[in-house]
Amino acid sequence: MFRTRFAPSPTGYMHIGNLRTALYAYLIAKQAGGAFILRIEDTDQSRNVPESVAAIYNGLKLAGIEYDEGPDKDGGYGPYVQSQRLGIYKKHSEELIKKGHAYYCFCQKEDKPALESTGERVQGFRDPCRDLNAEEIQAKFDAGILPVVRQRIPEGGESSFFDHVYGEIAIDNSQLDDQVLLKSDGFPTYNFANVVDDHLMGITHVIRGQEYLSSTPKYNLLYEAFGWERPEYIHLPHIIKEDGSKLSKRKGDPSYEDLVKMGYLPEAIVNYVALLGWNPGDEREFFLLPELTQAFDMNRINKSSAAFSFDKLRWLNGEHIRALSPETFHELALTYYPQGLEKIDLGKLSQLIQIRTENLAEIPNLVAFFVDLPSYESDLFLHQKSKSTLESSLLVLQQVQPLLASLDEWTNESLFALLKSFSQEQGLKVGTVMWPIRTALSGQETSPGGATELAALLGKDETLRRIRLGLEKLS
């Protein structure tokens, strides 16, 4: 049985990379019929942001990523919050000390910078406390010094492991530090907690960012020290910006929830992010979560980092919007419609704009002209392809005005029939008739919908009023 986990630390918002990590972990579990677990890694007390736990829940929910076990969903492997597992870590660290794979270190934080300020970084750091004897240790304890627990990296040799994305990775043990496992405040470091928890929670596949690739040998040494079986590893390449720099909230790059606020559909974001570093092997690009679960294959994850393209997200968002049922789109659109559309059939308006909406946030702009006719210049009536000139426009509007005024059935179809036959009678291109009307009704170079669609929505009175205004502009 596959068991994967998403283990964010509650230090802020849910960024794009986190979303993808969660998604891949979810997909890998679900496609194998396994379980997806949420674990909160709040071992750094100074960096905890309590509200961000809510943001994580919310983000996952929005994305449709449902976890089988988590802080609020016990599956028998809890607790799922690391700060509630302190006793477990302590016990395990003592086991390691007993076995000789870890030791107490009484050095103070201030001691190390001095070491490092020699200019070169100390690699394969071997702490002086490594070789303290029992009396020395007791003496330090008696002096009231709070120790940390450090991992004892074996001298010499190399550690290797297999990663499903990056293949075989080998690192010399001399490169590995005697890292801190348990801090002096009794909290574990990530390095320790993730190993202990992953094992205790039965995690079979560890999915996480590439930044952990070179510390994974240390974790493997820990598994070995405990006599535990290693999990499978799937390290993910980073998501970066198109200019090659990294996404950062500080530089104004949006989080997952920001993107939703910006008018992108959660399912479009999920779809897009899935494609950043993975492809199905065929030419499909449009995926909803269930299809993604079917199609996903961890062996097709890419090694190199991928740049986040707003252009492509925007396009994909449009695809998802178009794939929505008219009812669903209408409901969404409703929350974006501005004031002043009371007289307009919003259901019809939604039908008109669904295919033209690539981003929900642009809806207010798209429909603004229905509320207020923008001021425009008369040369807006010029249109070469429609053979529309100032003269023809004036003529058309003059002639069409009484026809419209006497039209009883005010629908797109009847309006179109009327104007089409008018153009035929006059020997004009349909466009020559439609262009000035559409222009007068929208006051814009382009509009969602043509002349008759706009007229039908605006209603007879408003249509005639806007045509009168157009005539004033032309004469």
Residue 149, beta-bridge partner list: 104, 182
Comparison of 311 and 408: residue with beta carbon closer to RNA? 311
Order of strands, edge to edge, in the sheet holding 167-172? Answer: 35-38, 3-6, 205-209, 232-236, 158-163, 167-172
The interface with RNA within residues 204-233 (CB under 7 A) comprises 210-215
Give least dist CB 138 to RNA, A: 18
Can you tell me which of 349, 434, 440, 474 binds RNA, judged by CB under 7 A? 434
Binding RNA (rule: CB under 7 A), the pick from 13, 57, 77, 125 is 125
Q: Which residues are catalytic?
A: 249
Nearer to RNA, 182 or 394 (CB): 182
Whether cis (ω within 30° of 0) applies to the bond prior to 280 is no
In the bound complex, what is the minimum distance in angstroms from residue 213's beta carbon to RNA? 5
CA distance 149 to 179: 8
Question: What type of residue sits at position 208?
Answer: R
Q: Whose Cβ is closer to RNA: residue 297's or residue 461's?
A: 297
Q: Hey, what are 321's tokens?
A: 């919007």
* Closer CB to RNA, 227 or 418, in the complex: 418
Rounded distance, CA 138 to CA 233, Å? 40
Minimum CB separation of residue 299 from RNA in Å reads 8
Q: How far is the CB of 155 from RNA (least distance, A)?
A: 16
How many residues interact with RNA (rule CB under 7 A)? 90
User: Which range binds RNA by CB under 7 A, 52-60, 197-205, 241-249, 260-268?
Assistant: 241-249
Figure out which of the listed residues 64, 75, 78, 431 binds RNA, where binding follows CB under 7 A.
431
**Contact status: 426 vs RNA (CB under 7 A):** no
Ranges within 302-341 binding RNA (CB under 7 A): 302-307, 309, 311-312, 314-315, 318-319, 322
The half-sphere exposure of 288 on its side-chain side, counting CA atoms within 13 A, is 6
Among 98, 121, 250, 251, indicate the residue that binds RNA (CB under 7 A).
Answer: 121
Q: Least CB distance from residue 407 to RNA, whole Å? A: 14
Distance CA 308, CA 350 (A): 30
Q: Closest Cα to residue 301, out of 82, 89, 7, 20?
A: 20
* Candidate segments 26-34, 260-268, 273-281, 287-295, binder of RNA by CB under 7 A: 273-281
Phi, psi of 143 (to 5 degrees): -75, 0
Nearer to RNA by Cβ, of 4 and 43: the residue is 43
**CA distances for 438 relative to 345, 418, 431, 455, angstroms:** 18, 15, 10, 8
- H-helix segments, 303-426: 310-323, 326-334, 346-354, 363-371, 390-405, 412-426
Q: Which of 72, 425, 445, 472 binds RNA (CB under 7 A)?
A: 445
453 contributes a contact to RNA by CB under 7 A: yes
Residue choice 130, 356, 460, 465 for contact with RNA (CB under 7 A): 356
Helix (H, G, I), strand (E, B) or coil at 280: coil
How do the residues of the chain divide into helix, strand and coil, expressed in percent and rounded to 5?
Answer: 50, 10, 40
Q: What angle do CA 105, 107, 108 make, to 5 degrees?
A: 130
The DSSP string of 68-94 is SBBTTB--SS---BGGG-HHHHHHHHH
* Binding positions for RNA, 130-189, rule CB under 7 A: 148, 166-167, 169-172, 175, 177, 179-180, 183-185, 187, 189
Q: Which is nearer to RNA, 339 or 375 (CB)?
A: 375
For RNA, the binding residues in 23-52 under the rule CB under 7 A are 41, 43-44, 47
**Interatomic CA distance for residues 104 and 97, integer angstroms:** 8
Structure tokens belonging to residue 165: 């994305």
Chain residues 365-424 in contact with RNA, contact rule CB under 7 A: 383, 385-386, 412, 415-416
Q: 339 or 460, CB closer to RNA?
A: 460
Q: Which is nearer to RNA, 227 or 322 (CB)?
A: 322
**Least distance from RNA to the Cβ atom of residue 47, Å:** 5
Listed ranges 29-37, 53-61, 133-141, 448-456: which one lies at the site for RNA (CB under 7 A): 448-456
Q: Which range touches RNA (CB under 7 A), out of 53-61, 70-78, 324-332, 440-448?
A: 440-448
Q: Is 249 in the site for RNA (CB under 7 A)?
A: no
Q: Which is nearer to RNA, 35 or 301 (CB)?
A: 301
Quick one: 56 exposed, middle or buried, by C-beta within 10 A (0-12, 13-18, 19+)? buried
User: In a 3-state reduction of DSSP, which class is residue 239?
Assistant: strand
From the CB of 187, what's the least distance to RNA, in Å?
Answer: 6
**What letter would DSSP give residue 369?**
H
CB of 169 to RNA, least distance (A): 5
